[in-house]
Structure 1
Amino acid sequence: MIIKVLGPGCANCKKLQKNVEVAVKELKLDASIEKVTDFKEITKYGVMSTPALVVDDEVKVAGKVAKPDEIKEHLQ
């Protein structure tokens, strides 16, 4: 499983990444977490507001900081 956090590196992006790490740890998943800061790459996903969560190349959340429990729903 490949999880990507899309965003320029703002506080909300960092919070989403931490929440993703918590969710992956709690679910004991074997997943790689990548940070994508390049705007050209972000727009390839059709994301217009960050932060965004992408799981296996599918946008799951955009424009908000998802809590660990919400993220877990997208990872199961």
Structure 2
Amino acid sequence: MIIKILGSGCKKCIALGENAKTAAAAAGIDAEFVKVTDIAEIAAAGVMHTPALMVDGKLVSSGRVLSPEDIGKLL
């Protein structure tokens, strides 16, 4: 599983990444985490608001920091 965190690297982006790692560990999922900070790549993914979360190429959240529990439901 590939989990991408899209954003500029701000505090919210970092929090979303940490919550995603926590959720994957709690679910026992072996995931590769990728940070995407390139604005062109973020826009190409259809993201209008950061931070955003993609799971295996599918945009599942944009513009908010999900809790580990919410991310777990999406995994």
Q: Tell whether the structures are fold-level matches, with TM greater than 0.5.
A: yes
The aligned residue for residue 23 of structure 1 is: 23
Number of positions where the alignment pairs a residue of Structure 1 with one of Structure 2: 75
**TM-score normalised over the length of structure 2:** 0.97
Identity %: 45
Q: Distance in 1 between matches of 2:36 and 2:23?
A: 19
C-alpha deviations, 1:36-60, integer Å up to 9, x for none? 0000110111101100000011000
Establish whether residue 32 from structure 1 lines up as the match of residue 39 from structure 2.
no
Mapping of 1:36-51 within 5 angstroms? 36-51=36-51
Alpha-carbon distance in structure 1 between the residues aligned to 2:46 and 2:13: 17
Distance (whole Å) between structure 2 residues aligned to residue 27 and residue 19 of structure 1: 12
The one-letter code of the counterpart of 1:10 is C
Unpaired stretches in structure 1, ≥5 consecutive residues: none
Residue 34 of structure 1 aligns to a residue whose secondary structure is strand
Structure-2 residue corresponding to 1:14: 14
TM norm structure 1: 0.96
Moved beyond 4 Å, runs of 4+: none
| C-alpha RMSD over aligned residues | 0.5
Partner of 1:5 in structure 2? 5
Report the CA distance between 1:26 and its aligned residue.
Answer: 0.5
